[in-house]
């Protein structure tokens, strides 16, 4: 790690100590433990950032809670990829205004992608003046310093950076799950898809050093983690700008070697950069999950060009063919946008054609949202709402039908699941995730959370299964819990 980053991490440590004094004082005043609540909007990147922010709050002395109404400190980690993400934040801020009137000592902080937009900051300064602290995506490592400031100042603190080269390692982290974790491998994005605000709010691409990533994963594994999700806006261009360049596929090979790590996932892959080397590494790996999220966005060559995606429909389809040929059991999921400027219903038919041919296991479909500052926002032919709706509904139906058909193919199979959580509706059940990302609900003890089990996929419910635990020979085994715990690592 560069010298200046070590110094920065130490500096923030010192601020955490300062925060501890302030939080201890608050505890005295309240006569109870002060509580903090972090609410995450948006993607896996944000979820991981929230774990870092929660780690800092916990270290400062707060007890973490999911109940906003109980909290003495509320932090919204925001997203701005589509306008409805912004609107949700404004809606909830209205509620917080009332909460703060009842509880004047409540501190409200905002961070994340939405805060990188000047117009948002103006609006908050004008209409939500009760907010105590605002910071952006580039300086979350400064959170301890900002938190310490918060106890000393009365006025709103706004600290947004436009860009950063810095990657500060080794800040405290509070993981949401004890058995799995996201791991950032890179930050930012250089692709500039014409509809997308991410490059403007997350900055230029910066890769972490492989040795830092490997060390983090080794530590996580030592701490009980069995599955990691490697995170980046475009993992396929990982490592290109490092002092000693390395490919994403080569990084995966190194991660694979970490003993005790059982599953590797990654997100997100840009089709234009997906290499043959990566396909080979996935094919030959025992740990990389049989799932690839490969955003299509649109099926019409004309729209793909206007989106600045750098591939054609045929190139995308050829890539999927290659993937399926090399890794027949792979599940492919995607993101699709409907209503990009100039898109006609014929263009949407091209997208639907890709969906039919690829047979996605799942597809996230979005209505185009105009983001100020992006090239697409300045394009003239914004599509009328009723045309967008018509194309969207038609696409959604095909997406759902094909996903159901794909899911049904697993009927009756016995597959390995990682138990993720106790079922909310019925605590006698747990939810497990298969390598291909499919969820299965089955009866099991809550102590199985974080363990691998074999599950018979009995009934398909469209997008998930209900099943039963079996042993490695396919026999029912929910009566032999003790034994099952013993042989969970047989694979």
- Which residues have C-beta within 8 Å of that of residue 320, sequence separation ≥ 6? 294, 332, 357, 358
- Taking phi first (over 0 means left), then psi (-120 to 50 degrees means alpha), and beta for anything else, what does residue 467 get? beta
Q: Which does 113 bind (CB under 5 to 8 A by kind): ligand SF4, ligand 5AD, none?
A: ligand SF4
Structure tokens at 260: 């005790």
Candidate list 143, 195, 266, 465; residue touching ligand 5AD; CB under 6 A = 195
Q: Which neighbouring-strand residues pair with 432? A: 419, 440
* Calpha distance 135→450 (Å, rounded): 34
Smallest gap from Cβ 159 to ligand SF4, in A, equals 18
Residue nearer to ligand 5AD on the CB measure, 184 or 431: 184
Residue nearer to ligand 5AD on the CB measure, 131 or 198: 198
Smallest gap from Cβ 54 to ligand SF4, in A, equals 16
> What residue is closest to ligand SF4 based on CB?
42
Q: Quick one: which of 170, 168, 151 has its CA closest to 105?
A: 151
Smallest gap from Cβ 368 to ligand 5AD, in A, equals 5
Position 369 contacts ligand 5AD (CB under 6 A)? yes
Position 220 contacts ligand 5AD (CB under 6 A)? no
For residues 164-183, one letter each, b for 16 or more C-beta atoms within 10 angstroms of the residue's C-beta and e for the rest, the string is bebbbbbbbbbbeeebbbbb
Cross-sheet strand order for the sheet of 291-293: 291-293, 331-338, 362-367
What residue ranges bind ligand SF4 (CB under 6 A)?
A: 42-43, 45-46, 79-81, 113, 198, 201-202
Smallest gap from Cβ 266 to ligand 5AD, in A, equals 15
Residue nearer to ligand SF4 on the CB measure, 365 or 436: 365
Smallest gap from Cβ 198 to ligand 5AD, in A, equals 7
Position 363 contacts ligand 5AD (CB under 6 A)? no
Preceding peptide of 268 cis, ω within 30°: yes
> What residue is closest to ligand 5AD based on CB?
335
* Calpha distance 34→72 (Å, rounded): 6
Smallest gap from Cβ 355 to ligand 5AD, in A, equals 14
- Taking phi first (over 0 means left), then psi (-120 to 50 degrees means alpha), and beta for anything else, what does residue 219 get? alpha
Q: Which does 42 bind (CB under 5 to 8 A by kind): ligand 5AD, ligand SF4, none?
A: ligand SF4
Q: Quick one: which of 309, 374, 308, 298 has its CA closest to 80?
A: 374
Cross-sheet strand order for the sheet of 227-231: 180-184, 227-231, 263-267
Smallest gap from Cβ 356 to ligand SF4, in A, equals 27
Q: Which does 80 bind (CB under 5 to 8 A by kind): ligand SF4, ligand 5AD, none?
A: ligand SF4
Position 436 contacts ligand 5AD (CB under 6 A)? no
Q: Which does 202 bind (CB under 5 to 8 A by kind): ligand SF4, ligand 5AD, none?
A: ligand SF4
Structure tokens at 398: 């095909």
The residue ranges that bind ligand 5AD (CB under 6 A) are 81-82, 195-196, 295, 297, 335, 337, 366, 368-369, 371
């Amino acid at each position: 790690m560069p010298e200046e980053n070590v110094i920065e991490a130490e500096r923030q440590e010192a601020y955490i100590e300062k925060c501890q004094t302030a939080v201890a004082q608050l505890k005295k005043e309240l006569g109870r433990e002060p509580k903090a609540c972090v609410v995450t909007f948006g993607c896996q990147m944000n979820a991981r950032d929230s774990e870092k922010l929660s780690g800092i709050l916990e270290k400062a002395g707060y007890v973490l809670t999911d109940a906003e109404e109980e909290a003495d400190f509320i932090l919204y980690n925001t997203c701005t990829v589509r306008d409805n993400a912004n609107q949700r934040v404004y809606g909830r801020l209205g509620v917080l205004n009332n909460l703060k009137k009842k509880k004047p000592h409540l501190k409200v902080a905002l961070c994340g992608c939405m805060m990188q937009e000047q117009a948002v900051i103006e609006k908050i300064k004008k209409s939500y003046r009760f907010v105590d602290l605002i910071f952006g995506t580039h300086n979350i490592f400064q959170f301890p310093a900002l938190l310490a400031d918060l106890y000393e100042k009365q006025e709103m603190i706004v600290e947004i950076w436009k860009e950063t080269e810095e990657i500060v390692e080794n800040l405290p982290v509070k993981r949401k799950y004890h058995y799995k974790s996201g791991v950032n491998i890179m930050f930012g994005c250089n692709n500039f898809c014409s509809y997308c605000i991410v490059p403007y709010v997350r900055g230029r691409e910066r890769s972490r050093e492989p040795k830092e990533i490997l060390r983090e994963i080794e530590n996580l594994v030592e701490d009980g983690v069995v599955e990691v999700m490697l995170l980046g806006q475009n993992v396929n261009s990982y490592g290109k700008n490092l002092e000693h360049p390395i490919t994403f596929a080569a990084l995966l090979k190194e991660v694979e070697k970490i003993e005790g790590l059982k599953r590797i996932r990654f997100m997100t892959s840009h089709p234009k950069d997906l290499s043959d080397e990566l396909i080979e590494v996935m094919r030959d790996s025992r740990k990389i999950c049989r799932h690839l999220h490969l955003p299509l966005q649109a099926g019409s060559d004309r729209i793909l060009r206007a989106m600045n995606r750098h591939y054609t429909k045929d190139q995308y389809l050829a890539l999927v063919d290659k993937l399926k040929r090399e890794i027949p059991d792979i599940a492919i999921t995607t993101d699709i946008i409907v209503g990009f400027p100039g898109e006609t219903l014929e263009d949407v038919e091209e997208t639907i054609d890709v969906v039919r041919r690829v047979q996605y296991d799942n597809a996230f479909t979005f209505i185009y949202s105009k983001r100020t500052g992006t090239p697409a926002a300045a394009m003239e032919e914004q599509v009328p709402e009723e045309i967008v709706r018509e194309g969207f509904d038609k696409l959604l139906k095909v997406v759902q039908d094909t996903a159901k058909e794909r899911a049904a193919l697993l009927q009756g199979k016995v597959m390995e699941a990682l138990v993720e959580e106790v079922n909310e509706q019925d605590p006698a059940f747990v939810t497990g995730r298969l390598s291909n990302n499919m969820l299965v609900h089955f009866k099991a003890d809550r102590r199985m959370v974080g363990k691998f089990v074999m599950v018979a996929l009995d009934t398909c419910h469209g997008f998930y299964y209900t099943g039963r635990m079996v042993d490695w020979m396919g026999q029912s085994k929910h009566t032999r819990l003790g034994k099952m715990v013993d042989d969970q690592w047989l694979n």
